[in-house]
Amino acid sequence: MTLVLNSISKIYQDGMSEFKALDNVSLEVKPGEFLAIVGPSGSGKSTMLSIAGGLLTPTTGDVLLDGENMASLSKKQLTAKRLESIGFVFQAANLIPYLKVKDQLQVINVISGNKADSYGAELLEHFGLENRMANYPNELSGGERQRVAIARALINDPKLILADEPTASLDSKRGRQVVELLANEMKARGKAGIMVTHDENVLDLCDRVVTIRDGKLEE
């Protein structure tokens, strides 16, 4: 999938004051391309990722998914599009506490009406979790939890992956392993991806790095 951000600005309204979190950001990510976003805290990285994924609406500018303008979709269509096309990975794994590992993935399959679940088993094996299928999140290590979260983001085979500091809770070795798994899976299936990261140790796994500073993009 090709993702285009076209002159995106975002102004947060905070009572009487306004804050410009993004200032005229334009960007394109092509199928099979893995883009890293770096920049200081508060520079607008998460805001940009949320807008790219349709979780937040820009104040001005357009988001195009394969040429389709997200603003032209109804709320219902947008939700369906997100579920079908976009996989999100967050800083904390956000797993459902009362579901076993295999059911964390299965629940996405059920919601999206996806019948085939053999890919779930394949992903878990791929991610070294085949012996953890029947465990609950609180029985897993931080790295295992994050690998489950990434497997869950991939289970639908979404064409776009958006990851916000996926390695933040991991040491540098585990962090790198997790991003390697993600990058390999994305390459193998021609997905487009954006990862926000503070971790310099994983930048070489990405195709391109852009910096955001004070809401502005620098290549």
Site residues for ligand ATP per CB under 6 A: 12, 14, 19, 21, 39, 41-47
Q: How far is the CB of 194 from Mg ion (least distance, A)?
A: 13
Shorter beta-carbon distance to ligand ATP: residue 38 or 140 = 38
- Is the distance from CB of 176 to CB of 146 less than 8 angstroms? no
**Whose CA is closest to 182, among 35, 74, 21, 72?**
35
Shorter beta-carbon distance to ligand ATP: residue 45 or 145 = 45
Q: How far is the CB of 112 from ligand ATP (least distance, A)?
A: 28
Q: How far is the CB of 149 from ligand ATP (least distance, A)?
A: 18
Q: How far is the CB of 108 from ligand ATP (least distance, A)?
A: 25
Q: From the CB of residue 92, how many other CB atoms can be counted at a distance below 10 Å?
A: 14
Please choose which of ligand ATP, Mg ion, none residue 21 contacts, taking the beta carbon within 5 to 8 angstroms, the exact cut-off set by kind.
ligand ATP
Look up residue 102 and give its two tokens.
Answer: 């295999």
Q: Which element (helix H / strand E) includes 24? A: strand 17-29
Q: How far is the CB of 217 from ligand ATP (least distance, A)?
A: 12
DSSP string, 148-168: HHHHHHHTT--SEEEEESTTT
Binding of Mg ion at residue 46 (CB under 5 A)?
A: yes
Give the single-character DSSP code of 93.
Answer: -
Give the single-character DSSP code of 106.
Answer: H
Please choose which of Mg ion, ligand ATP, none residue 118 contacts, taking the beta carbon within 5 to 8 angstroms, the exact cut-off set by kind.
none
Shorter beta-carbon distance to ligand ATP: residue 44 or 143 = 44
In sign, the C-alpha dihedral spanning 90, 95, 100, 105 is negative
Instruction: List contacts with Mg ion (CB under 5 A).
Output: 46
